[in-house]
């Protein structure tokens, strides 16, 4: 298992939603932003990104439209829907809970020593 390959599985959608919090953006931009944020530690693959976009839009979490650029390659913009905003809030809470849960399962947290 690679250092950061399967460990981020399931977080892709949350990461995307989070990147749309501050306004609409498009795929390439989001990917760039993510890459810059983690240096060489991790890279969201394009295939993963676009399949996640599909899923999120099919689920009504984001909406997309073609930009009207008259120069350069066309861009498909995405923005959060109200559903997506709610989902993001849930996911953030879920991540917080997940962190605590895994920490506990790995004995990284001092557990109240009343068992045994």
Partner DNA sequence: CATAGATACATCACCTGTCAAGGTATCTAT
Partner DNA sequence: ATAGATACCTTGACAGGTGATGTATCTATG
| Token pair in block for residue 14 | 């949350």
State the minimum distance, in angstroms, from the CB of residue 37 to DNA.
15
Write the CA distances from 3 to 12, 31, 34, 59, integer angstroms. 16, 20, 17, 30
| Binding partner at 79 among DNA, its own copies, none, C-beta below 5 to 8 Å by kind | none
| Binding partner at 86 among DNA, its own copies, none, C-beta below 5 to 8 Å by kind | none
Cβ atoms of 87 and 47 closer than 8 Å: no
State the minimum distance, in angstroms, from the CB of residue 79 to its own copies.
17
The DSSP result for 51-103, as a single string, is HHHHHHHHTTSEEEEE---SSSS--EEEEE-HHHHHHHHHHHHHHHHHHHHHH
Q: Which of residues 19-78 bind DNA (CB under 7 A)?
A: 26-29, 32, 44-48, 50-55, 71-77
State the minimum distance, in angstroms, from the CB of residue 98 to its own copies.
5
Which range, of 7-15, 86-94, 97-105, 107-115, touches DNA by CB under 7 A? Answer: 7-15
Secondary structure letter of residue 27 according to DSSP: H
| Binding partner at 14 among its own copies, DNA, none, C-beta below 5 to 8 Å by kind | its own copies
State the minimum distance, in angstroms, from the CB of residue 90 to its own copies.
8
Provide the CA 7 distance to its chain's centre, in angstroms. Answer: 13
């Amino acid at each position: 298992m690679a250092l950061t390959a399967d460990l981020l599985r399931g977080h892709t959608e949350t990461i995307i939603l989070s990147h749309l919090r501050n306004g609409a953006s498009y795929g390439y931009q989001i990917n760039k932003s993510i890459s810059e944020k983690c240096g060489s530690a991790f890279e969201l693959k394009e295939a993963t990104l676009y399949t996640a976009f599909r899923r999120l839009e099919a689920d009504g979490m984001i909406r997309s439209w073609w930009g009207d650029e008259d120069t350069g390659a066309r861009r498909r913009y995405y923005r959060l829907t109200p559903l997506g905003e709610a989902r993001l809030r849930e996911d953030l809470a879920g991540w917080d809970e997940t962190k605590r849960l895994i920490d506990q399962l790995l004995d990284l947290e001092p557990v109240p020593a009343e068992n045994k």
